Amino acid sequence: MDCVTSDNPPGAADPAALRPALPSPLTELTDERFAERGLRLLLKRDDLIHPDLPGNKWRKLEPNLRAAAASGARTLLTFGGAYSNHLRATAAAGRLLGFGTIGVVRGDELADRPLNPSLARCAADGMRLRFVDRATYRRKAEPEVLASLAPPDAFVIPEGGSNAAAALGCTELGRELRGVADVVGVACGTGGTLAGLAAGLSAGQRAIGFPVLKGGFLETEILRLQNEAFGGRRGAWTLDDRFHGGGYAKTSPELEAFAADFASRHGIELERVYVAKMLYGLTTLAQEGAFAPGTRVVTVITGAP
Ligand SMILES: *Cc1c(COP(=O)(O)O)cnc(C)c1O
């Protein structure tokens, strides 16, 4: 066996070893609510990129994983709520590529309860979970708080995985849609995906983001990310704030009926927290006459149920 000294630790694997299915497939659906307006509806199947790092999670994590490996870090540390897809994807990436992972979870009350299925999956992938109270969690970006949470050699990825590297990674999604879309709809949590997607589109194309959280802080956050990643506002993008349905992971009989109807029309089960709200919003816009006849509407399927 090779002698590996502690000041020359073996690096973690390059994320290319995970063989993502890129570019993701683009498929057309016949949906009469779009067809009767002269619109085409296409699905950008980012949910098929990788079974453990689906959708925008791959696009956002990949540049961060490469940076972490290049820096020689052996441990990734990141943040999320109790049902965070980002925590799950980071835990899986750690297992597959040979990083240790630490997940800082919002809510110290969770420490005394059995893990929910999402956190149990993180733990099974080897993630060390650290539950912090909400006040501390809110201050997690402050240097003293961060220093108390993160070992000095950890590579820190922000909540939701959204930073400049992630936005740069998502420009590839926009580039894959050049020439095939007029309008692109995407669900927004932290807005990192929209920030990059819009920057990757070409002139004449535009993106519409559908926030799934209530609050209206997202515009500022997306501008901040675009400033950091690209040096200013990029691409044509807007937000439609009408479809969060009361807040994160909140559902309604109306949304459930929409998703059930979509499954029976097309045989596709929609992820509820993000994708169903976005498609419900986009379908409503189509029926409101928001798009001119002939418009190619592409909907980004950012994740699977
Ligand atoms: C994380 C996630 C999003 C949100 O992406 P942001 O870049 O945080 O806006 C959207 N859809 C799905 C399925 C997700 O898991």
Read off the pLDDT of residues 182-199 as tens digits, 9 standing for 90 and up: 999 999 999 999 999 999
Q: What is the pTM of this model?
A: 0.93
Q: Write out the two tokens for 146.
A: 């961060």
Q: How many CA atoms lie within 13 A of 224 on its CB side?
A: 9
- Note if the bond before 293 is cis, omega within 30 degrees: no
Q: Which of 171, 216, 178, 213 has the alpha carbon at shortest distance from 192?
A: 171
Question: Angle, to 10 degrees, between the axis of helix 253-266 and the axis of helix 277-287?
Answer: 80
The model's pLDDT over 270-300, given as tens digits with 9 standing for 90+, comes to 999 999 999 999 999 999 999 999 999 999 9
Residues 6+ apart with CB under 8 A from 88: 118, 121, 122, 125
Residues 216, 168, 70, 46, Cα dihedral to 10°: 90
**pLDDT band (50, 70, 90) for residue 11:** low
**How far does residue 273's CA lie from ligand 1's centre (Å)?**
9
Rounded Cα–Cα distance for residues 128 and 144 (Å)? 21
Pocket perturbation via mutation, ligand 1, pick of 79, 274, 299 by most ligand atoms within 8 A of CB = 274
- Is 17 exposed, middle or buried, given 0-12, 13-18 or 19+ CB atoms closer than 10 A? exposed
The model's pLDDT over 49-104, given as tens digits with 9 standing for 90+, comes to 999 998 999 999 999 999 999 999 999 999 999 999 999 999 999 999 999 999 99
**pLDDT band (50, 70, 90) for residue 169:** very high
Rounded Cα–Cα distance for residues 27 and 173 (Å)? 15
**How far does residue 98's CA lie from ligand 1's centre (Å)?**
24
Say yes or no: do domains 21-52+162-300 and 57-161 share a fold.
Answer: yes
**pLDDT band (50, 70, 90) for residue 120:** very high
Instruction: Spell out the domain ranges in the chain.
Output: 21-52+162-300, 57-161
Cβ < 6 A, ligand 1 pocket? 55-57, 85-86, 160, 162, 187-193, 271, 274-275, 302-303
Architecture of domain 21-52+162-300: 3-Layer(aba) Sandwich (3.40)
**CB atoms near residue 11 (< 10 Å):** 16
Rounded Cα–Cα distance for residues 250 and 237 (Å)? 25
CATH 3.40.50.1100 assigned to domain 57-161? The reply is yes
- For residue 5, the model assigns a pLDDT of 37
Pocket perturbation via mutation, ligand 1, pick of 56, 61, 226, 279 by most ligand atoms within 8 A of CB = 56
**How far does residue 176's CA lie from ligand 1's centre (Å)?**
18
- For residue 8, the model assigns a pLDDT of 34
